[in-house]
Chain A
């Protein structure tokens, strides 16, 4: 077979277009394997792993497009590559409906579409400021999905928006739910009376799917982006969103979710809650010890699981029962299952490796591991000394956020494109010291149409109990989704379960179980002691 690579200098296609082009090229006659990607470090590494890194590809930069193809024996290489290039060089067009009208400026779209009240912006971060400000000046709220927007620009956008009574949800806001509509990566959850404001995208997804499962629903979920709770931005939009939820008559209870917020910012947010909120509040500040409750209205939760448990207790009745029967499990049950798993794994396998697509879920796992088995290594570590020197190589107990920018430069997010995670699962499984693989599978709008199916094959080939290769690690999976998600929780769970994966109803339970398996009796003693904090 021949490997051919072509570099198109200064040609940009977005990550989703590239993923689809790769899929389309693979379907052409004579093509064994193909990758169409921008020339970033991550993508060149992927090409190397797949045996597709040609000499010319090595010279490609971030702004260059690489076409790398392995042509099957017996096919005319030149003819195949002509068809490949024709496909790749065809200008992309919006898909999904013939009625779609495309505009080429914000102004023309606003003139043509009356009543526009929201924009979703997912442009590259360095290009996002100008059109976002234009939208705000026109009175349009913005869900700013884009990452890498400079903080000065974020502050300018948020100050302007706040002065006009508009929302800027982001930058880097993966998820929002407004009037029952999911924006970005969002699950299809029932509407209800819990309002969420969060600086943690998959944090919104995790609590909203659990609220859905226990019969509670979401009135609104407003993601404000991770840097909103930095000292520089000062929780500007989080405070405005709290005011919005306080004034929203459909919101009866407020949930605040934040990932590594600054203590000073949280003090200000809580002051706002105490002065301006009459509704019950559940607060989950992942990675920050809760301040002392002043007026008793704020209930602090250490995990996303316990935040939903608190909401269930506030609601009482049926939702509390459904939490106990549908999500929760007891310490003894978890502990016994861990013992059985340890016996099955045996031998030299002693480490847990988390391969996450959701950053907040990875963070929650790191926090639970720290409580039970000590801090794990990560590309997004809790403390610098546990940073992985190379995010592509794990050590000891590791938790890797594959949605971090070190993996997504020039590539689609792992919730959309499973390629990198599949390779990493096989890589970790081949390490004889690995006992447990922790995986999240995030369903919902924006995500891959079949994320469980995409991973099932590589899990089946590599894990203990189902593997063609015999004794591998145990794969533990949390499916973050609902029945009404486009991918269906049941369908995805069946695929993963059939592959040999063990499924958990929350990421916190999955993390605790993994810690029990690798941490043995000392982890068990700690979990028993901290059960109320983590799951109560």
Chain B
């Protein structure tokens, strides 16, 4: 097992959040003025991963 690192100082940092899953949690974060984006892995289940990345870059 890798050597244990000290916990990062998440508590002192401004939060920048990815939300994977229920959209209500993104809405809740945005209502608290937190920078948050939605990652939707269910909309294109059969899409090739490289293609999904490429599409995201284009959109």
Please report A residues at the B interface, Cβ cutoff 8 Å: 12, 14-16, 91, 94-97, 100-123, 127, 131, 135, 140-141, 145-146, 159-160, 162-167, 178-179, 181-184, 219-220, 240-241, 243-244, 247-248, 250, 416, 445-446, 486
Contact A181:B56 (CB < 8 A) given known A104-B39, A131-B20: no
Contact assessment for A104 and B32 in the assembled complex, using a CB-CB cutoff below 8 Å: no
Query: Of B11, B14, B42, which contacts A250 at CB under 8 A?
Result: B11
Q: Mark B8-52, 1 if CB is under 8 A from A, else 0.
A: 101111111111111111111111101101111111100101001
- Interface contact A179-B20, CB-CB below 8 Å: no
B positions within 8 Å CB-CB of A: 1-8, 10-32, 34-35, 37-44, 47, 49, 52-53, 55-57, 59
A165 engages B31 (CB within 8 Å):
no
Which residue from A96, A107, A118, A182 sits with its C-beta under 8 Å from B23? A96
Name the B residues within 8 Å of A117 (CB-CB): 8, 10, 13, 15-16
Tell me the interface secondary structure of chain A in the complex: mixed
Nearest chain A CB to B44 CB, angstrom units: 6
Knowing A119-B17, A119-B18, A486-B31, the reply to whether A100 touches B53 (Cβ < 8 A) is no
Smallest CB–CB gap between B23 and chain A, Å? 5
Shortest A411–chain B CB gap in Å is 13
Q: B17 near A120 (CB under 8 angstroms)?
A: yes
| Cβ of A125 to closest chain B Cβ, rounded Å | 11
B5/A165 in contact, CB under 8 A: yes
* Complex alpha-carbon distance, A266 and B57, angstroms: 47
Shortest distance from the beta carbon of B53 to any chain A beta carbon, whole Å: 5
For the complex formed, measure the closest distance between the CB of B33 and the CB atoms of chain A, giving whole angstroms: 9
| Closest chain A residue to B22, Cβ basis | A122
Q: Smallest distance from the beta carbon of B20 to chain A beta carbons, Å? A: 5
Contact of B19 among A119, A162, A219, A445 (CB under 8 A): A119
> CB < 8 Å: which of B3, B13, B29, B42 contacts A163?
B3
